[in-house]
Structure 1
Amino acid sequence: MSFDYLELGDLTTDDGWVEYSTNGGVTWALLVNTAKTLCCGGACTGSNQGKWGNYTSAILPASANNIANFRLRFVWQNNDDAIGKDPSFAINDLKISYNTVLPIELLNFTANQIDNTIMLQWASASEKNFREYEIQKSTDGVSFNEIGIIKAAGNNQIIQKYAFSDTNPFNGLVYYRLKMVDLDDLYKYSELVWFDWNESQTFSNSYFVDSKQQLTLNKSFISSDNFEFLVILNLDGKIISKYKISEHISDGWVVFPCNGLENGIYLCQLTGYSSQKSFKIVVLK
């Protein structure tokens, strides 16, 4: 948990802190006692304006995990003695994050055309207290709809294989993902897979622009043919960007910025003195 806060006042009798409850507010326990924030121009006296501070990494104890009646509150104590800077307490930009560790290890997830359907296949290495896979579909990679549910095999430590057939695929590019749900209703999403019905081609995560708006390629994929430039074109053949590969190598990877690209499919060409390689990339933001 992190938040920005303003805490002004004198000594310890003007004070702010954070408490939590695991029984719906019947009893409360201290999570963190925040320190006084600073003021502009030095000491917090007179008319000096307060400066915002930040608190990060307030970690809840394990006893607060998966508690339906969990509560969090901010407490301000004001002794009202009118000494020093006028006491005040304010909170802004509260962020609470958690790590969802599901009892499943997903090995792969693929999409392939079989006649007039798209066959989705995946495999897991282990499942424990795991309930189901919800198959989701999208035309833009952002808004997804459920198209089916496959029940999990149950508790096991062996490889389980699953398949689902999309009998109503869209024309053009379609995106799929798995929503993986355990018995406690916790869930996480798989990586996306894409299928272009018009091109009859599956796009793997080898060639995609990630959330940082970067295209990342393995150095061995490029250096094996001594390529010098990477050129990105739209589907009409217009050049969008051109990069000199040697300027973008980092720790065995070649990373290209793609900030100006809109969502969609693009052509990429690797060119060298005597060779050329082409492939497609998918941009999702």
Structure 2
Amino acid sequence: MEKFNLKKRIVNLSVLVLICLLLCKNQSFSQPTIYFKSVISSGLNSPIQLVNAGDGTNRIFIVEKGGTIKVFNSAFTSLGTFLTVDGVLNSGEQGLLSMAFHPDYETNGTFFVYYNNLDGNLEIARYKVNPGNANLANEGSKTIVKTILHPDQPNHNGGELHFGSDGYLYLSIGDGGGGDDPNNNAQNPTRLLGKILRIAVNTTDVGPIYTNPADNPYPDGNGGKNEVFATGLRNPFRWSFDSGTGDMWIGDVGQGAREEINHRTAATLSAANYGWGCYEGTLTHNNADCIPNAQYHFPIHEYVTNSAAGNSVVGGVVYRGTLHPEMQGYYIGGDFKSGNLHIIGPVSGTITTTVRTSTITDVADFGEAENGEIYAVALTSGAVYNLTPQNPLPVDLISFTGVSGNEGVRLNWKTAMEKDFRQFDVEYSTNAKSFSQVGSVYPKNSVTGSEYQFFHSVNSAQTLYYRLKMVDQDDSFKYSTIISIDSGNENVSANFVRPSLIDSKMMHLLIEEPFNSFELVSANGNVLMRKDITNESGDLNIPVESVSSGMYIVRLQGNERILNQKVLIVK
């Protein structure tokens, strides 16, 4: 009887666990959709970081790689140049990389910058604000806090300063450059390269300019502690503290195998070893660099380097603003090359990761305003964007189609709503990758929507790809889906697959005359699918969920003629 009751209790417990798992799954959070809304579209030269002073003014400071720091009010109206840092080497990955305001900046007016000096070495300098002008720093107040030798290589400088909730200044340093960390700097706690450093800075000229906190984890050999706080990093170009929890999030740029995002809670930051160059991500990289019995901390998220996902991770921030509750507690980072966004969270619950594609590339930093709102800074284009979960465009596109005729390609589109919208830019491509603008159409700005038409003159028979770039008054924009058109000598009746760019599980055909068979033909001429369509007319749906992505020819054969149309299947 006791065994029976025990089995019964085990069964009941199993059922309860199953129910709990199902409920937990049903209660999981969905990742927010993130849009880029332009707030600055001109006037910046290689912006590399966005920060705030935390002084109650809601101003925004933009660090430019060449050495200039510019200041804006909360509406992103320029307030001028705050400071031009002298002695900055601006070449390749080198330049002015970061600034951080002291936690008591409102009262002491002290801030710090990080850059490559003219010798290529890494330098932290302290400045004071001009006492007579809050939007202007005192250039003559510069004091060098520390110079870190960065021998031989100009890359892997790391690059970001932050003050922690403990009042100490933290700095990310790259491994010194070159492939495979040849000197094993990252794993050696007596060297400053490949690390997170932590120092106690002095805001006055009395006493040492900085000291090392007594609870830093590694000894300096003289009875004290050195600057090293965490080890095992390759090039931690962008990282952040979660302003809500104090957790540390580090984007560490990979060598050739993995890009990684590392996360440690506020209680587990000290002496963390993130693995490089023993590991690259979770992959073993070089056993010779491994420390026996070391406890390595693997990334919370990683992806393949030099893939469609990108090749240069950019560490992000956790959203702690109030304007967008659906973003609360989510970490948002990205990739410099691909523009992909990596959304992780919510950090207070079961953490999941979503990768979302974006057309905004070359983002060098994700920064926070004083109110907790998140912004992205694009290095090459010089643009600054606000990250928001709401579509920033006051237009709702409901259809976009096109056909080829004697006059060229005729594009048609329809909207359901427009309000104070600037224009539609029509772009085309011959390869669905590189697009060029062929014209613009100005909207009717009807709150109930409108219909539009655009003609593109084409002289040769080829497959063309079109998209609409919908541009708002503040330069923010969004692209439509891409459609493909067989142009030139093709006539309207030959455009029977609509749309010819197929990104769903179904191919849609419009049969306007009698045909006997449908065939799907690969690029090398193999017939992959054949269907008898005798007596079929009107709309015909063909399942293509088992067909791989690529270019194909759809062939309709009848008694009097054969029609061919190119289609692009995208999964």
For normalisation by structure 2, the TM-score amounts to: 0.30
- What does the per-residue CA deviation read over 1:129-179, in whole Å, with 9 as the maximum and x for residues that have no partner? 31100000111111110000111223x322312222112454211111110
Q: Retained in 1: the 8 A contact 2:404–2:490? A: no
Partner of 1:33: 246
CA distance in 2, matches of 1:167, 1:107: 25
Corresponding position of 1:165: 455
- SS of the residue corresponding to residue 444 of structure 2 reads coil
Unmatched tracts of structure 2, length 5 or more: 1-30, 32-49, 53-57, 62-99, 104-162, 164-241, 248-264, 276-291, 303-315, 325-364, 370-385, 511-517, 532-540, 557-562
Q: Do the aligned partners of 2:460 and 2:489 also contact (CA within 8 Å) in 1?
A: no
Paired residue for 2:299, among 21, 28, 52? Answer: 52
Identity within the alignment, % = 20
Q: For the structure 1 residues 117 and 207, does the alpha-carbon distance in structure 2 shift closer, same or farther, using more than 3 Å as the test?
A: closer
Aligned residues of 1:215 and 1:258 also touching (Cα < 8 A): no
**Aligned residue among 455, 465, 476 for 1:175:** 465
The 5 Å alignment of 1:239-254 reads 239=526, 241-242=528-529, 254=543
Taking the aligned partners of 2:297 and 2:497, their CA distance within structure 1 comes to 51
Q: Assess, with a 3 A threshold, how the Cα gap between structure 1 residues 97 and 267 changes in structure 2: closer, same or farther.
A: farther
2:416 paired with 1:125: yes
Matches within 5 A, 1:200-215: 200=491, 201-202=494-495, 206=499, 208-210=501-503, 215=505
Q: Give the Cα separation in 2 of the matches to 1:114 and 1:47.
A: 69
Structure that is richer in strand per residue = 1
Q: Distance in 2 between matches of 1:30 and 1:180?
A: 35
CA distance in 2, matches of 1:120, 1:149: 12
Per-residue deviation at 1:115?
Answer: 2.7
SS in structure 2 opposite 1:171? coil
TM alignment of 1:270-281, pairs within 5 A: 280=565
On the 8 A contact 1:138/1:176 being kept in 2, the answer is yes
Q: Deviations over 1:242-271 (max 9, x none)?
A: 599xxxxxxx99452333x54x342268xx
Instruction: Give the paired residue count.
Output: 212
Does residue 258 of the first structure (1) align with residue 547 of the second (2)?
Answer: yes
Q: Deviations over 1:162-206 (max 9, x none)?
A: 222112454211111110011121111112222213332447655
Q: Is the contact between residue 209 and residue 281 of structure 1 (CA under 8 Å) also seen in structure 2?
A: no
Question: What SS does structure 2 have at the residue aligned with 1:256?
Answer: coil
Distance 1:258 1:58, change over 3 A: farther
Structure 1: runs of 5 or more not aligned: 2-18, 74-95, 222-229, 245-251, 270-277
Matches of 2:502 and 2:506, distance apart in 1:
7
Counterpart of 1:233? 521
Normalised to the residue count of structure 1, the TM-score between the two structures is 0.55
Larger Rg computed on CA atoms:
2
Residues 195 and 203 of structure 1 are in contact (CA less than 8 Å); yes or no, is this contact kept in structure 2?
Answer: no
Cα deviation, residue 281, structure 1: 5.8
Cα separation, partners in 2 of 1:137 and 1:284, compared to 1, 3 Å? farther
User: Structure 2 counterpart of 1:125, which letter?
Assistant: A
